[in-house]
Amino acid sequence: MPSPTKEATAPTHGYTFAHTTDLLPPPSPRTHRALRKLQSAHNLGSRASASSQPSLITQQRLQQQQVLSTPHRDLSHTHGSAAATPPSINTSPAASHHVRQRARANSDAPPMGQHLNSTPANKRSMMGINPRYTHISLAQLIREGPPEGDIPEALGAARRKVLSEGIKTDTDGMSPLRIYAWLIFLDAPILPTDDYLGLIHRGASPAYSKIRNDTFRTLTTDPLFRRRVSEASLIRLLNAVAWKLHDAREAQRLRDRPSIQESAVAASSSASASGSTTRPSTSHSRPSSQGGGSTSSPAAKHRARALTLTTEASSNDPALASEPGTYVQGMNVLAAPFLYAARSETEAFVAFHTLLTRECPAYIRGAMDGVHRGVALVDRVLATVDSRLSGYLLSKGLSAELYAFPSVLTLCACTPPLPEVLRLWDFLFAYGPHLNILCIVAQLMGMRDQLMNSPNPNRLLRAFPSLQADKVIERTLWIIERIPDVIYAVIVTHAL
């Protein structure tokens, strides 16, 4: 049975946000002098203490392998049913008790209610919704919280509404609701605005010069972005994230130092006992002829879309390969939609930092191994769902490494127009950013006829056609039902 499309499974009830929210239009990031007054609407409870409990998305991923080991192709069973089973989510006691009470925000936004759960880690149906949520709009659900405190059901309903109805926006793709939905789906922590300002006041981070080399060319062809987001705002955000990642890396080195010192002492004692004068080899003595994860190959030359695909440090030292980076060229494009959609830089910062550290840490670690794994998965999925197109591209020497690297790294943010990127991100954050791999394959399938009829498909793949989020999402749902569970499990974890 073919997989139901988004339209076929949408509830028949109509919804409107006009009567359920009175959020004011987002202020322009150009008003930097008012930054202190723009206390983030996500800073609810101001100095609330951070919970030491693992995040909800972490709890879900601990159960992932158990869930994926059982058949769950129930997408077709929910065809046209608004009362079908909701998406699978973590219903463990730890998750059901992980609720933050949110007081009135310091900004002019209304309270968001209780914090919902995070993204699903399996491939269960995306179509079901509890009947009691059919008449509750997404805006009302976010503002007032889940009825009777039923977080798992409310989260499933919120995801379903994003999928079937979308988030209402103006002609520029702006919505006062979107950033709050993203923060909830990403399970972003509460962050006082003063903490963000503290990072800014630290001055230039170690990655500052690299950031400045990238920010001026971020989405230069997009007039909506250039009109709303200033380069200074983008510099501040990336520099603050770089400081945060730098602090995390230094903390990790301090934790690892005792074990390193113990190993050195043991090696010295062993050498003294044996009377050997041979110096132990170090990683610095290894030849640097290997490319490692360098992306200065032809893969970076076939996509001129405001990206320079190199890492913060091009060192081949294996000791650095597993360390988290502080900045990777291309992060500027990934950060851009957050600044465009957010009501304040603080909100953009906490959402962007959460995405990097929880959802795709391997994208910015060492030699960007997570991105390379994602690129390989594009080839693997395409070969599974469309072997003819895959074979034709490979016969022309076009592996995904040559055209999909920017789309993997930026979650398709490198493909205009920006309002369509935001719509696609609504879906990705609701059901998991790992689905971006399938979204890239969906775009290739949308280009299928042109690619198959072109003697030189490389010219078409240098810049993907304008993004059409709804069509990409529809094809992605189709692809989900046609890939083996073992491949989907790898997709879920490829960026971790």
Cα dihedral 17, 18, 22, 25 in deg (nearest 10)? 90
What are the sequence ranges of the domains in the chain?
Answer: 6-23+37-190, 201-254+294-493
Q: Is 289 exposed, middle or buried (CB count within 10 Å of its CB: 0-12, 13-18, 19+)?
A: exposed
Per-residue pLDDT, 132? 75
Residues 3 and 476: their CA atoms lie apart, in Å, by: 10
User: How high is the pLDDT of residue 122?
Assistant: 53
- What the block records as the tokens of 142 is 């976010």
Q: Which CATH number fits domain 201-254+294-493: 1.10.472.80, 2.60.120.10, 3.30.420.40, 3.40.50.300?
A: 1.10.472.80
pTM of structure: 0.68
pLDDT in tens, the chain (496 residues): 443 333 333 333 333 333 333 334 444 444 444 443 334 333 333 333 333 344 444 445 545 544 444 433 333 333 332 323 333 333 333 333 333 333 333 333 333 333 333 444 455 445 556 777 788 899 999 988 888 788 888 899 999 999 999 999 998 999 999 999 999 999 999 999 999 999 999 999 999 999 999 999 999 989 999 999 999 999 999 999 999 999 999 988 888 876 655 665 565 555 554 444 333 333 333 333 333 334 444 433 434 443 433 333 333 444 444 455 789 989 999 999 999 999 999 999 999 999 999 999 999 988 899 999 999 999 999 999 999 999 999 999 999 999 999 999 999 999 999 999 999 999 999 999 999 999 999 999 999 999 999 999 999 999 999 999 999 999 999 999 999 999 999 999 999 9
Task: Give the pLDDT of residue 48.
Answer: 35
Torsion sign (Cα): 358, 183, 91, 1 = negative
Residues near 136 by Cβ (< 8 Å), separated by ≥ 6?
Answer: 147, 157
CB 228 within 8 A of CB 86: no
338: nearest Cα among 233, 408, 430: 233
